[in-house]
Amino acid sequence: MNTIDTIAVCSRSFSLNEILRQELLQRYKNVTFNDEGTKLEGEVLVDFLRGHSKAITALEVIDDSVLAKLSGLGVISKYGVGLDMIDMDAMRNHGVRLGWKGGVNRRSVSELVISFAIALLRHVMAANREVLSGIWRQHMGGYLSGRTVGIIGCGHIGKDLVQMLQPFGCPILVNDIQDYSDFYEQYGVQAVSIEDLLAQADVVTLHVPLDGSTRNILTAERLALMKTEAILINAARGGLVDEEALKVMLKEGQLAAAAFDVFAVEPPQDTELLELPNFIVTPHIGGSAREAILAMGRAAIEGLDNNNPV
């Protein structure tokens, strides 16, 4: 057991998980958990982290204004895979090391995406709403099997999704800034431009991080390239899609349906979008499977010791 380092666990879900708590306490003696379930931001976050040498963070914003007040903090280990909440320049400037492992929640996200696709194609949510309101009528849906799926971003989750889609016999188009030629050849995947992907795919799903190159990657102009019968899924990061343009397209029948687990502002405030019958919304649950929580938590624990300069 480490009796020197002091650990701050910002994440509420980590703090609530008894297995992760015990595994962390077996390695470190001095741990402060977010047992109050407080949303940590700004000065509240600084106060929580102050006096600790290492921290496990999740959706907390770690930037220069925070790190400048925490001279004793040497390591931040990420609980989860997204790094858009962490200012890497600030980490580098303050000499704070990063513990991070990519892809630990990939199966959790991939399964959610497939459940979204099937639910949208079979009108599951719309049918459910109608039955609850007293309307009993059959909706004519369609298969996921055989439909062309476009995956924007073929990293850990994108690759996992490609593999999971194999039994469905879906032609798969991908767009990524990296060259994964060997993987594409192995699974019969076709790499195309983002414009060609949008124009050809029946199902489009996003799996890129949020940064300067991907913010608003699906503009109104790009969304307009999609087939009217296509569906759009975003279980990656909020801020990738022009949500206002999406709403108009869904209302006017320019796009068949969409499912979003993430939004530019969370929780989302546009009730008009949220209440559309051809829109599924979930509260950022992509990684919220028991198995994924343990995998992310254990990776974060390992990252406290096995970390690197940014």
Of the residues 266, 275, 290, 291, only one is catalytic, namely 266
* Residue 237 designated active-site: yes
The answer for residues whose C-beta is within 8 angstroms of residue 137's C-beta and 6 or more apart is 130
Whether the CB-CB separation of 95 and 76 falls below 8 Å is answered with no
Q: Mind giving me the DSSP string for the chain?
A: -EEEEEEEE--HHHHH-HHHHHHHHTTEEEEEE-TT-----HHHHHHHHTT-SEEEESS--B-HHHHTT-TT--EEEESSS--TTB-HHHHHHTT-EEE--TTTTHHHHHHHHHHHHHHHHTTHHHHHHHHHTT---------STT--EEEE--SHHHHHHHHHTGGGT--EEEE-SS--HHHHHHHT-EE--HHHHHHH-SEEEE----STTTTT-B-HHHHTTS-TT-EEEE-S-TTSB-HHHHHHHHHHTSS-EEEES--SSSS---HHHHT-TTEEE-SS-TT-SHHHHHHHHHHHHHHHHS-B--
Closest CA to 102 of 165, 159, 160, 157: 157
Of the residues 21, 94, 122, 284, only one is catalytic, namely 284
| Rounded CA separation 263/80 (Å) | 17
* Residue 284 designated active-site: yes
Of the residues 107, 147, 222, 237, only one is catalytic, namely 237
Residues annotated catalytic, as ranges: 237, 266, 284
